[in-house]
């Protein structure tokens, strides 16, 4: 992913559509649509660009952010009981 892709988004972010579908299927709670939760992956990626001073992130960083942080957060928010 490139920095320009993560920073400038003139239309509704595609991840909100994805999260909305997960909520509709019962795989995530409606709370995941909260802006802080919905944008945490992009914020972490943006931080990676700023801290490292690079315009792109390697695949292993993307996998860490999505699989190690974002999906567990969304799934935990959708857990019941």
| pLDDT single digits (tens) 21-59 | 989 998 888 989 988 888 899 899 999 999 999 888 899
The alpha carbon of residue 9 and the mean position of all alpha carbons in its chain are separated, in whole angstroms, by: 14
Give the sign of the dihedral formed by CA 14, CA 16, CA 19, CA 21: negative
Average pLDDT over residues 4-32: 78
Helices (H), 1-81: 3-7, 14-24, 35-38, 40-52, 59-63, 71-78
């Amino acid at each position: 992913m490139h920095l320009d892709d993560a920073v400038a988004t003139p239309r509704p972010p595609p991840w909100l559509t994805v999260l909305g579908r997960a909520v509709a299927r019962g795989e995530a709670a409606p709370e995941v649509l909260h802006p802080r939760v919905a944008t945490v992956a992009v914020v972490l990626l943006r931080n990676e660009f700023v801290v490292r001073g690079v315009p792109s992130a390697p695949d292993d960083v993307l996998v860490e952010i999505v699989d190690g942080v974002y999906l567990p957060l969304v799934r935990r928010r959708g857990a019941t009981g």
